Amino acid sequence: MSTRTVLTVHDLRKAPKVLLHDHLDGGLRPRTIVELAQSTGYEGLPTHDVAELGRWFQEAANSGSLESYLETFAHTCGVMQTEDALIRVAAECVEDLADDGVVYAEVRYAPELFVERGLSLDQVIKAVQAGFTEGERRAEANGHRIRTGTLLCAMRQHARAAEIAELAVRYRDAGVVGFDIAGPEAGFPPTRNLDAFEFMRVNNAHFTIHAGEAFGLASIWEAIQHCGAERLGHGVRIVDDIKTSADGEVQLGRLAAYVRDRRIPLEICPSSNVQTGAVASIAEHPIGLLAKLRFRVTVNTDNRLMSGCSVSSEFAALSEAFGFGWADVQWFTINAMKSAFIDFDQRLDLINNVIKPGYAALV
Ligand SMILES: [Zn+2]
């Protein structure tokens, strides 16, 4: 019998990791929020004490109330309404990810949330790209190599998806690698934005869709079969189409089988699912079953500030709950790299020249 080793955050930070699902407005440093509130004149913060504010974000997100969860984003977006603020937040995001050992990240945000003080969508996108470039430069100066790709999101409850999809294509050679829709699933099925997805497809451009987080199989089915999503943001409710009998025999329904057969990547965000109540605890998270069944599972942070997490801490929690070791972490990482929206040769280069040698050195 092998002894069970639990990987720690400390160990995991040294491993090369890939992140596909991370929201720019969900990952600010508490200190930055306080400083930007002061410099931009944002007056809504519940406290200006940095440590207290950090705790407040996690508690509000944990409270189980959707109102307080959404209030957290009102504050982060509230301080991200100027070019300088966007540049700073984007640069620090890349620095923090690189510091955690992330070698490739796709960071997403909805440009339409940052135009309250008069910025144009183009100004928002250019500022964030400048910040990402600056973050990559600072990380490199610190001895960490990281590459960042941007996903532009449209909010389901607004009606700007076609416009945002057009921007995603227009900025495809300037760092934007794909498109997504985010926001409340209930009442806003992905098919409401069919024109945007069609625009992406005819332009040979990539997109993922937030689906199957709170809402079930219908949302996943629409995202894949009507909209043509290449990946699923969360997608965790696919377990509703998997039956395990009393004697442990597992049976996949047609949709679950399709998702697995087609190797459709699931952007799983364990801590976030627990906070929003989609899943009761990390130990009960379907990721254990989905990984065992060899779905194309990836591990992600969603909102690092609200969940108080990093990619390394998510892996540490999963290692504790499911006994995942280095071989598993490498598998999740290669899954994510294969599923990235950058060119095939670049994905292969990162897998062969960064990820595999990185794990070989650790194991
Ligand atoms: Zn998300």
- Number of other CB atoms surrounding residue 244 within 10 Å: 11
1-4: list long-range contacts, CB under 8 Å, 24+ apart: 4/323
Instruction: Give mean pLDDT, residues 154-167.
Output: 94
Strand partners, 18: 104
pLDDT over 90 (residue 356)? yes
Residue 69 lies in a domain: no
pLDDT of residue 1: 41
**217 or 67, which is more confident:** 217
Please count the residues of the chain. Answer: 363
pLDDT at 197 over 80: yes
Burial of 196 (0-12, 13-18, 19+ CB in 10 A): buried
328/200 Cα distance (integer angstroms): 33
Q: Is residue 140 part of a domain?
A: no
* Ligand 1 center–CA 267 separation, angstroms: 9
Give mean pLDDT, residues 70-77.
94
Is the pLDDT reported for residue 68 higher than 90?
A: no
pLDDT value at 17 more than 70: yes
Q: Please determine, for residue 176, whether its predicted confidence score (pLDDT) is greater than 60.
A: yes
Of the candidates 338, 317, 321, 328, the residue with the CA atom closest to the CA atom of residue 362: 328
Is the pTM higher than 0.95? The answer reads: yes
List, in sequence order, every beta strand (DSSP E) within 202-296.
Answer: 208-211, 231-234, 242-244, 250-252, 266-268
What mean pLDDT comes out for the span 324-329? 97
Ligand 1 centroid to Cα of residue 33, in Å, is 20
For residue 190, how far is the Cα from the chain centroid? Answer: 18
Is the predicted pLDDT of residue 274 greater than 60, yes or no?
yes
Look at residue 298 and tell me if it is in a domain. yes
Q: 238-269: per-residue pLDDT in tens?
A: 999 999 999 989 999 999 999 999 999 999 99
Q: Is 247 annotated as a binding residue?
A: no
Answer yes or no: is 183 a known binding residue.
Answer: yes
| CA 361–ligand 1 middle distance (angstroms) | 32
State in Å: Cα 21 to ligand 1 middle: 6
- pLDDT reading at 48 higher than 70: yes
Q: How far is the centre of ligand 1, averaged over its atoms, from the C-alpha of 154 (Å)?
A: 12
> What percent of the chain lies above the pLDDT cut of 70?
99
CA dihedral 97, 102, 105, 108 (to 10 degrees): -30
Contact present, 332 and 29 (Cβ < 8 Å): no
Q: Compute the distance between CA of residue 133 and CA of residue 130 in angstroms, rounded to an integer.
A: 5
Q: Is 288 assigned to a binding site?
A: no
Cα distances (Å, whole numbers) of residue 193 to 132, 182, 186, 265: 28, 11, 14, 21
Q: How confident is the model at residue 278 (pLDDT cuts 50, 70, 90)?
A: confident
**Angle at the Cα of 295 from the Cα atoms of 291 and 298, rounded to 5 degrees:** 70
CA of 23 to the centre of ligand 1 (A): 6
- pLDDT at 210 (0 to 100): 94
285 is in an annotated binding site: no
List, in sequence order, every residue forming a beta bridge with 231; answer none if it has no partner.
208
Q: How many domains does the chain have?
A: 1
The residue range of the domain holding 183 is 9-22+99-121+154-362
Closest CA to 314 of 273, 358, 266, 357: 273
| pLDDT level of residue 3 (50, 70, 90 thresholds) | low
- Which 3 state secondary structure label does DSSP give 352? helix
For residue 49, say whether it is annotated as part of any ligand binding site.
no
Say whether pLDDT at 2 is over 80: no
CB-side neighbour CA atoms (13 Å) of 245: 5
129 inside domain: no
* CATH code of the domain in which 328 resides: 3.20.20.140
Mean pLDDT computed over 332-357 = 98
Do the domain assignments include residue 238? Answer: yes
Does 143 fall in a domain?
Answer: no
* CA 229 to ligand 1 center in whole angstroms: 15
Average pLDDT for 41-68: 91
Six-digit token string for 218 = 């219908």
Residues with CB under 5 A from ligand 1 (ion): 302
Residue 4, pLDDT > 80, answer no
Contact 214, 276 (CB under 8 A): yes
Distance 297 CA to ligand 1 centre (A): 15
What would you report as the CA-atom Rg of the chain, rounded to the nearest whole angstrom? 19
Is 184 domain-assigned?
A: yes
Residues belonging to the active site:
213
- Residue at 309 is within a domain: yes
Q: Encode pLDDT of 88-117 as tens digits.
A: 999 999 999 999 999 999 999 999 999 999
Contact 271, 300 (CB under 8 A): no
Mean pLDDT, the chain, whole residue set: 95
Phi, then psi, of 214 in degrees rounded to 5: -95, -35
The answer to whether 21 is a known ligand-binding residue is yes
Q: Say how far apart CA 43 and CA 221 lie, in whole Å.
A: 42
Kindly state the tokens that stand for 281: 């605890």
